[in-house]
Chain A
């Protein structure tokens, strides 16, 4: 079956512009996660969705970052007024439910470069 997909695969943007990153989880997965992978910081948790609700936004680095999920499926991560330190690979993952025994299935990521 189809895995987690993300678009675009690469995004180059100018400092100060807004960007939207999209994630399509595996069908039927109720839990969805965003992570950021950057040099020097490793892999960082950003936000967790259960259905359309985000009970944990603790990893969002600033108020320039926001995310939403609609229809219990597609999620969009939005970064406003991008900064160079936002350059990273943004990974989306989904799992059947949001428990610790459920493995998370990762998408290929979106590589964001802020110039």
Chain B
């Protein structure tokens, strides 16, 4: 079965420290993977996407993610958290189809 798992429902970091949001997928086929961010009462915004090109993907606002096939992972990182990064983050998976499969989300809290 095809699925995506976000390993942490909540992550807290101090401002200026690194961010790591974990995502694992399960698929028999080559996946496309996306990270979206949702600020309170706002729509989903694409941070970055992987579609079988470079395995290290750079996105907006200093975020990046690395596709690791051997680990079936696509973790999202940022070197230094900013207060404005506080939001909910969704890892999204597709495999040969338009249908997005969403992870359950990780709520990021940034402490001053």
Contacts and interface: CB of A to CB of B under 8 A. Distances in A.
| Chain B interface size range | 20 to 34
A109 B98 contact: no
Nearest to B97: A100
Given A42-B105, A109-B43, A103 B99 contact: no
Contact of A43 (B45, B98, B102): B102
Nearest to B51: A101
A38 interface: no
Contacts of B101: 45
B95 A100 contact: yes
Contact of A103 (B41, B42, B49, B96): B49
Interface residues of A, number: 25
A110 to B, nearest CB: 11
Contact of B32 (A31, A45, A101): A101
Nearest to B52: A101
Most buried by B among A35, A91, A103: A103
Interface of B: 32, 34, 36, 41-46, 49, 51, 90, 94-105
Instruction: Please list the 5 inter-chain residue pairs (A to B) with the smallest Cβ-Cβ separation, ordered nearest first.
Output: A43-B102, A106-B44, A100-B94, A108-B43, A98-B98
